[in-house]
Structure 1
């Protein structure tokens, strides 16, 4: 079965939420980059990346999240991750990403 990723963008008040569902890897990472760019373009005060339904993320996906975080920070926009499941949370911890990006339950 080919890798599949579904992204969605929702705006509520001053928060843009990007939800990721499926797998983020070298074949799907461009969708994440595009979704984060679209979220930045809405001019929010905060971007939340909802990881509730994310099953897997590799180093290219982590790189996309770091890039999104840096672009948000440069624009004075709060950037955080939310609702990471066990295996995805473990990858985030091991990568060191959570040392710079907030993860909320």
Structure 2
């Protein structure tokens, strides 16, 4: 199964819906989709992972890098609808709370200082 995505734009927000397997085979596409959204500098980026059945370390790294870039550029970033293997892996790796909590850019700046 490959990684599929759909991107929608509404009211200054970008929503990316992912489905399939987020593994090394889809790494470049995932990074491109995420960083294209960051480049638009919307107020908020939501990554809906309800359709993912698998996620690996390369995809988690892409999500973390995109979140960091989004916050740096003043965009809120959140991953939603985690379930099954994706939720377990994000939890085991210690990034579930970070990725699924809406953090505004100002909060990120305050915490970094």
TM-score scaled by structure 1? 0.89
Q: Per-residue deviation at 1:89?
A: 0.6
In the TM superposition, structure 1's runs of 4+ consecutive aligned residues that sit over 4 Å from their partners are none
CA contact (8 A) 2:3 2:21 kept: yes
**Alignment match, 2:109:** none
Residues paired across the two proteins, number: 102
**Alignment match, 1:27:** 25
**Alignment partner of 1:41 is 2:39:** yes
Partner secondary structure for residue 92 of structure 1: helix
User: CA RMSD for the aligned pairs?
Assistant: 1.4
Aligned pairs for 1:25-104 (under 5 A) are: 25-103=23-101
Q: Per-residue deviation at 1:95?
A: 0.9
Partner secondary structure for residue 42 of structure 2: coil
Partner secondary structure for residue 100 of structure 1: helix
Q: Which runs of 5+ in 1 are unaligned?
A: none
Structure with the higher strand share, 1 or 2: 1
Q: Which runs of 5+ in 2 are unaligned?
A: 103-113
Q: Per-residue deviation at 1:101?
A: 2.1
Q: Per-residue deviation at 1:42?
A: 2.2
Q: Per-residue deviation at 1:103?
A: 4.8
Distance 1:72 1:85 in 2: 24
